[in-house]
Amino acid sequence: MDGPMRVLVTGGSGLVGRAIERVVKEGERREGEEWIFLSSKDANLVSAEETRSVFQKHRPTHVIHLAAMVGGLYRNMRQNLDFWRDNVHINDNVLYMSQEFGVVKVVSCLSTCVFPDKTTYPIDETMMHNGAPHESNYGYAYAKRMIDVHNRACFQQYGLRYTAVIPTNIFGPHDNYNIEDCHVMPGLVHKTYLAKKEGKPLEVWGSGRALRQFIYSVDLARLFVWVLREYDEVEPIIASVGEEDELTIKDAVDAVVEGFGFKGEVIYDTSKSDGQIKKTASNAKLRKYLPDFKFTPFKAAVKETCDWLAANYDIIRK
């Protein structure tokens, strides 16, 4: 295509969308480029007509597709049908309209949580469809996997190089901090803030033994921009810190406690589910392309997130 990109970012008001907005503003944007950040207020992407309208309005050349129905472990376990259906509709609408409107490239967002439950470790990009996902969120997992199926079929039938990124556990400012629904890091950050404020113990769900690789949203945002500009494969790419940086939930708890300077008791409620015990992902493919990419050190990133929540508590999503 000729001329600068016009990039539509769906889910633009979310955790990753806000991070992309920030890195674009702080230097990643190039001359003449236009970046449009959509939220659910602009269009309900579950509806084909509303998706069409928003594509007609903006006529993007590129799309970063982040919008999804997401939730933490507990909400997924209760509503697998809704997670399956709504996400399939959102994804089909965005990918299909992109094709109709001649979008050159779409970068969608998957997750390591969609990988097979029974697997060898570390997991890599070739393994996504090698078995059934974890029982707790199979609706969401299959919907995300089908983005990759759609991309491959679209490439086979039309030659379009739409692709996807597979982050591990993301955290940062502008997350969903609702304690019932959210993911592990924002949940810890919010609960520690409240525990400190109310002078109560911090109650952590699960045993603390589950292992995760965490990626700071601002680092992921830089990688999304790189994928949009430079990554040419249809096969997705894992965006994560290396296996050597895998942490336990307890490590994460300790970092959040330190980030807030929390002095109270920490209690682990082992009656609550741990979810998957490990999901170790290989970032070898990323390192092959970007051997020198520097991730923000975990404790510093957690501190930034805690400071942001404390400064913005009134407006956070909760």
Write out the residues near another protein by the rule CB under 8 A.
78-85, 88, 92, 96, 129-132, 138-139, 142, 146, 149-150, 152-154, 156-158
Taking the least distance from each CB to another protein, the nearer of 169 and 276 is: 276
Taking the least distance from each CB to another protein, the nearer of 82 and 258 is: 82
d(CA 252, CA 317): 21
d(CA 194, CA 179): 11
Closest separation between CB of residue 128 and another protein, Å?
9
Taking the least distance from each CB to another protein, the nearer of 96 and 308 is: 96
Spatial contact of 259 and 195, defined as CB atoms under 8 Å apart: no
Encoded amino acid at 301, one letter: A
Closest separation between CB of residue 234 and another protein, Å?
13
**One of 74, 121, 138, 140 is an active-site residue; which one?**
140
Taking the least distance from each CB to another protein, the nearer of 36 and 46 is: 46
Contacts 24+ apart (CB under 8 A), 120-128: 121/278, 121/280, 122/243, 122/280, 122/281, 122/282, 123/279, 123/280, 123/281, 123/282, 124/238, 124/281, 124/282, 124/284, 124/285, 125/166, 125/235, 125/236, 125/237, 125/238, 125/285, 126/235, 128/166, 128/236
Closest separation between CB of residue 82 and another protein, Å?
7
Taking the least distance from each CB to another protein, the nearer of 40 and 79 is: 79
Closest separation between CB of residue 96 and another protein, Å?
7
Closest separation between CB of residue 83 and another protein, Å?
8
For residue 140, indicate whether it is catalytic.
yes
Taking the least distance from each CB to another protein, the nearer of 5 and 70 is: 70
Closest separation between CB of residue 262 and another protein, Å?
37
Closest separation between CB of residue 106 and another protein, Å?
14
Taking the least distance from each CB to another protein, the nearer of 156 and 270 is: 156
Active site residue ranges:
140
